Amino acid sequence: MNSRERVRRAIAFRAPDRIPYFHRFLDATRERYPELVSSIEARYPGDMASSCWYNPAIKVTSSEREGAHLIMDEWGCTRATGIEGLTGIAVDHPLADYSALEGYEWPDYRDLCDWDRVADVLRQDPELYHAGMKPILNPFERMQALRGFERLMFDLAENRPELYELRDRVVEVMIVVVNLWAQTDVDAVNFGDDWGTQTNLMISPQMWRTFFRPVYERLFEPVKRAGKFIQFHSCGMVLPIIPELIDLGVDIVNVQHNLIGLDCLRQFCGEVCFLTAMDSQLILPYRSPVDVRQHVREVFEALGTRDGGIIGYAPLGPDVPPENIEALYAAYVEFGAFP
C-alpha cells in the first residue's frame, strides 16, 4: 500500500495497513538541526509529500527593527519574531483605520502564485499524499492581522458595519485560492484559524455560528464539490466548535488534544480523522524520551481505531531536543504498526 492510499484510507476509516505520519519541521528547527532533520526524513519516510508545504511564488520583504526580524507579506501585514524561521506576530496592521479600506490593494493569488508549477510539483511524488497548504486559508487570523486583534474584538462586540465588508473582502481573496487548489490533483485543502485560548473560545459559540460559520461554508464548498478532503487546524480550547466543523464537512481536525482532553475528544472517534497535535507546550520540549514515547502511545490508543481515523503529526519547533525528536518518530513506527 503506497502512502497516498494509506492516508486516504485513514481519513475515510477504510483500514490502512498502519497509522500514517507526516513530517513538520519548522524552518527554525531545520536551521538549528539540519543534519538531524535530514536523517529523520531519510530514516522515517513520511506519508505526505514535502511539496504540500510549497508556497508557489509569493514574494515577501524582510527587515530588522529593534532586534526583531520583520516580514511583510503580500497583504501588507508586518510580522515580528525574535527567531528567524518562526511565524511571529503581526505588529503593523494596514487596516487599523477603516478609512484605509477605500484605497487598500487586495492581493490576487491568480497573479501571485505560479499554479502551473504546482501541477509539476504534484507530479514529482505521485505515491504520496498531497494537501494544498499555502497560501494559508485563515480568515479570522487574517482579519486580526489586517485590523489588529483588540480592534477586531471590539468590532465584533459592537457589530460594526465595516466589519462585514472586511470579512467579505477577505473571503473573496481566499475563495480564489480555494478554487485554484480545487482544480489541482491535491488530495485535500488545508484551513487553519486558532480559535481558542487556554480555557475557552475567543468569542461566544453563538457569535462564531452567526458570523464565521457562513465564511467556512463558502470556503469549504468548492473543496467538497471537487471531491477532496478538508483539513482544519485550530489551537486552543475549541471543543464547542468541533461538532460544527464536523457538520460543515471537515474530514481531518488538528486540535490540541492535551489541552482539550483525550476523554473529551473520544466522543468524535469514528466521525472525523485526527491529525495529532503532540504536546508541544510541555512534553515534546521539556519531558524525557520515555515520556514522549508514552505520549504517542496514549494518543494513538485513545483517538485511533483499527479502521483508521488518526495520522501522526507534530509541528517540531527549535526548542524540542534531538533525543525527543528521535523518540517521537520511533514511537510513530512502534505504535502505528497494527498487530
pTM of the model: 0.94
CB count in 10 Å sphere of residue 297: 13
The phi and psi torsions of 254 (rounded to 5 degrees) equal -120, 95
Hey, how many other C-beta atoms are within 10 angstroms of the C-beta on 164?
A: 12
Greater confidence (193 vs 72) lies with: 193
- Among 308, 314, 309, which Cα is nearest to 332's? 314
Q: Would the pLDDT of 260 be above 70?
A: yes
DSSP strands (E only) in the chain:
61-65, 68-72, 78-81, 89-92, 131-137, 188-192, 229-234, 252-255, 273-275, 310-311
Residue position matching grid coordinates 481536525 = 253
The b-or-e profile of 42-69 (16+ CB within 10 A means b, else e) is eeeebbbbebbebebeeeeeeeeeeebb
Over the stretch 270-318, which tens digit does the pLDDT of each residue have?
999 999 999 999 999 999 999 999 999 999 999 998 899 999 999 999 9
User: What percentage of the chain reaches a pLDDT higher than 70?
Assistant: 97
- Which of 55-59, 112-116, 139-143 shows the lowest per-residue confidence on average (mean pLDDT)? 55-59
**Residue range 3-57+95-336, CATH number:** 3.20.20.210
Q: Is there a contact between 231 and 252 (Cβ–Cβ < 8 Å)?
A: yes
CA-to-CA distance for 46 and 77, rounded, in angstroms? 33
pLDDT at residue 85 in the model:
77
> φ, ψ for residue 234 (rounded to 5)?
-155, 120
Would you call 205 helix, strand, or coil by DSSP? Answer: helix
Q: Which pLDDT does position 339 carry in this prediction?
A: 64
Contact residues for 326 (Cβ-Cβ < 8 A; gap 6+): 40, 289
**At which residue does the C-alpha cell 494537501 appear?**
131
How far is residue 109's CA from residue 129's CA, in Å, rounded to a whole number? 24
Q: How would you class 157 by CB atoms within 10 Å of its CB: exposed for 0-12, middle for 13-18, buried for 19 or more?
A: exposed
The rounded mean pLDDT for the chain is: 94
The full set of domain ranges for the chain reads: 3-57+95-336
pLDDT at 56: 63
pLDDT tens-digit series, residues 44-73: 999 999 777 766 667 678 788 777 888 889
